[in-house]
Amino acid sequence: MFNGLQYVLNFEWLTGVGMSTSKNIFLILFVVIGILVLLIPKDYIYEGVENRRWWHNLKLWAIGDLAFIFITYYIF
Amino acid sequence: MLGGIDYFVVIVYMAGIMLLGLYFKKFIHSSQDYFLAGRMMPFWAIGMSIVVSDIGAQDFVAVSGQAYRFGIAVGNFDWIGSVPAMLLAAFIFVPYFWKAGLYTIPEYLGKRYNDAVRVIASVNWIIFFAFNLGIIFWASALVLKTLMGWDTWFSIIVTAIVVGIYTLFGGLTAVVMTDVVQMIIMFIGGAAVVFLGFYNVGGWDGLLEKMSAMGPDYQNRFNLILPVDTKTPFPWTGILFGLTFVMANAYMIGNQAVVQRCLSAKNEWHAKASMIWGAFLKMFIPILVLFPGMIASVTHPGLEDGDGAFPTLIGTLLPPGLGGLLFAALLAGLMSSIDSMLNSTATLWTKDIYQRFLKKQAPDRHYLFVGRVATLVLLVLGVITSPISSRYEGIYVAVQTYLSFFQGPTFSVLLLGIFWRRTTQWGGLSGLVGGLIVSLLLHIYSAKLFTISDPFLYISWWSFVAGFIITIVVSLFTAPHPYERLQGFVYRLDKPKINL
């Protein structure tokens, strides 16, 4: 019984996934998060701001964060 | 060992931080001032405070120790283990918590589910913070002993007095504003070590070259993504499922010490921005704590205990004068972690337990007094329990293992609570308790069930899955909550705005 559980719990069923594929999974994850951020309604982003400026757009901040981490994982 | 000028720097630093913290005592007139800084904090201060609170002297020691043993893969905790989760917190969870005027995360769970869920979550965090305080005290004392030659108990008591005084009187305002100064000092001190370390090994190319020459065991040291069959605790599956999907989110969204700062923001935009700004700063942390460990693996190979890598490196690396700066940086990390835990635990106790169950209708000044007493009691408890951590082999892993017990189940009920309106109070309670039981069983049988060392990432993932499924199944078999009860606590189910 423990052998079957070990197979599932340790993700041994993913052993066949190559290192380059697994790296791409991480990179795709960052891209998907970026797309979701871009889909957030504008008014929701600016909630609480009285005089809107371009730098109040938190989508830009988030995309900056994601770009940084994407490059890090792309390199290493 | 430090010289005369170094001692001067350290003493000036400690006295300065204590006085700065005490300055904010004059702004404390109510329990909201004490626990939420009067809801007046700007995003930049909150973001800096989140980052510095999350990293302490124990991280310099333990993360460097992990990097010494396993390489750059430990950086996953501050990169993918922070950024996606902080964005999710910024855009979904924090705005709802802030708009609801909450003091604690368990308070949200209590309003979304019931008091039992609130108490379980709150008590879990109180226990974690209380034990973690001791771990931080002890880890820091190890560093101070190596650097300064100070007696362990002397180090613990001196830091406890300095932090205790300003946290006790200045509340969250003092905690956040001293954190701002502490983050700047910590970044400068940490960067000095990294710069000197790289200079010592011949720069980036020198590090790569020297590590490559150390044999096949060191070939994976520059890989963030490690294979499923790695013997380290960081296979990519654990990083993706356990860390990215569960532990990171549970930590950034369910951690009282982190979210409480966002709840002190002056408006909703500042609350959101604080998390995104914090995520940006957080990405620099691995550079400060990870590379010293990797450099030490080249300059001092064969250390018996990886946790000794950082102290050994700085003991041989720093010229006179810089020792004091680094020591101040370590103290900054230590004090910012301790003050956060003290204030957050006092908030959890006062708001979730004392005010809710023990004395409901007391004047506000009474709760302010209770918060201060709780802070003092916790400080003493942290000092007394500090030697317990010496029984663990790796300090950082010990903390993560404890966290993995309840991170998964807590995040499952938080996630379903905010995204699925059909989740019921009994579903949430069953999911939380059931998930905790699964965590415990997986931990007890970990040697038989898991093939990697320290499988805390896998335990957190599978306990999350268990909590998630149990919550859904029980919710479907119990009566749904009325629409009015869910307003303001479920995504896209805002309370109606009242126009006066």
Question: Residue B449 is nearest to which of A5, A37, A66, comparing CB atoms?
Answer: A5
CA distance B296 to B215: 16
ipTM: 0.93
> What percentage of chain A carries pLDDT values higher than 70?
97
Task: Please check the confidence at residue B500 and state whether its pLDDT lies above 50.
Answer: no
Least confident of B4-13, B27-36, B75-84, B437-446: B4-13
Count of beta carbons in the 10 Å neighbourhood of residue B170: 28
Which residue carries 């108990």 as its tokens?
Answer: B153
Give CATH for domain B4-391.
1.20.1730.10
**What pTM, to 2 d.p., does this model score?**
0.88
Is residue A9, in this structure, part of any structural domain at all?
Answer: no
Is residue A54, in this structure, part of any structural domain at all?
Answer: yes
Q: Which of residues 15-54 of A touch B (CB under 8 A)?
A: 15, 17, 19, 22-23, 25-26, 29-30, 33, 37, 40, 44-49
Domain boundaries, given as residue ranges, for chain B: 4-391
Which residue carries 């423990």 as its tokens?
Answer: A2
Mean pLDDT of B178-201: 87
Is B96 in the A-facing interface, judged by CB distances under 8 Å?
A: no
Q: What is the mean pLDDT of chain B?
A: 86
Is residue A21, in this structure, part of any structural domain at all?
Answer: yes
Is residue A10, in this structure, part of any structural domain at all?
Answer: no
Residue of B276, B281, B442, B454 to mutate, testing the A interface (most A Cβ within 10 Å of its Cβ): B276
CB-based contact B225 A46, cutoff 8 Å: no
Is A65 in the B-facing interface, judged by CB distances under 8 Å?
A: yes
Residue A9 half-sphere exposure toward CB, CA atoms < 13 A:
28
C-alpha torsion B293→B291→B461→B424, nearest 10: 120
Chain B CB contacts of A30 below 8 Å: 84
Question: Residue B449 is nearest to which of A9, A37, A76, comparing CB atoms?
Answer: A9
Question: Residue B228 is nearest to which of A11, A49, A69, comparing CB atoms?
Answer: A11
Is residue A36, in this structure, part of any structural domain at all?
Answer: yes
Q: Are B18 and B332 in contact (CB under 8 A)?
A: no
Is residue A6, in this structure, part of any structural domain at all?
Answer: no
Task: Please check the confidence at residue B224 and state whether its pLDDT lies above 90.
Answer: no
Nearest CA in chain A to B267: A48
In chain A, the number of structural domains is 1
Task: Please check the confidence at residue B333 and state whether its pLDDT lies above 80.
Answer: no
- Least Cα distance to B439 among B465, B478, B417, B474 occurs for B465
Count of beta carbons in the 10 Å neighbourhood of residue B142: 22
- Least Cα distance to B458 among B470, B469, B450 occurs for B450
Q: Provide the shortest C-alpha distance from residue B420 to chain A (in Å).
A: 19
What is the identity of the amino acid at B475?
Answer: S
Question: Residue A47 is nearest to which of B80, B269, B276, comparing CB atoms?
Answer: B269
> What percentage of chain B carries pLDDT values higher than 70?
93
Mean pLDDT of B196-205: 88
- DSSP character string of B265-311: BSSHHHHHHHHHHHHHHHTTHHHHHTHHHHHHHHHSTT-S-GGGHHH
Instruction: Tell me what percent of chain B is helix, strand and coil, each rounded to the nearest 5.
Output: 80, 0, 20
Is residue A7, in this structure, part of any structural domain at all?
Answer: no
Q: Which domain holds residue A23?
A: 17-75
Is B228 in the A-facing interface, judged by CB distances under 8 Å?
A: yes
B391 vs B297, higher pLDDT:
B297
pLDDT at B290: 87
CA B243 to chain centre: 14
CA distance B172 to B343: 7
Question: How far apart, in Å, do the first and last CA atoms of chain B sit?
Answer: 66
Task: Please check the confidence at residue B67 and state whether its pLDDT lies above 80.
Answer: yes
Task: Please check the confidence at residue B399 and state whether its pLDDT lies above 70.
Answer: no
- Give me the total of CB pairs closer than 8 Å, taking one residue from chain A and one from chain B: 114
pLDDT at B272: 96
Chain B CB contacts of A68 below 8 Å: 280, 283
What φ, ψ does residue A52 adopt, rounded to 5°? Answer: -70, 135
CA distance B177 to B117: 33
Highest mean pLDDT among B325-339, B391-405, B482-496: B482-496
Q: Are B102 and B263 in contact (CB under 8 A)?
A: yes
pLDDT at B58: 66
> How does B281-302 read in b/e, with b if 16+ C-beta sit within 10 Å?
bbbebbebbbbbbbbbbbbeee
Task: Please check the confidence at residue B247 and state whether its pLDDT lies above 80.
Answer: yes
Question: Residue B458 is nearest to which of A9, A64, A76, comparing CB atoms?
Answer: A9
Is B235 in the A-facing interface, judged by CB distances under 8 Å?
A: yes
Q: Provide the shortest C-alpha distance from residue B117 to chain A (in Å).
A: 27
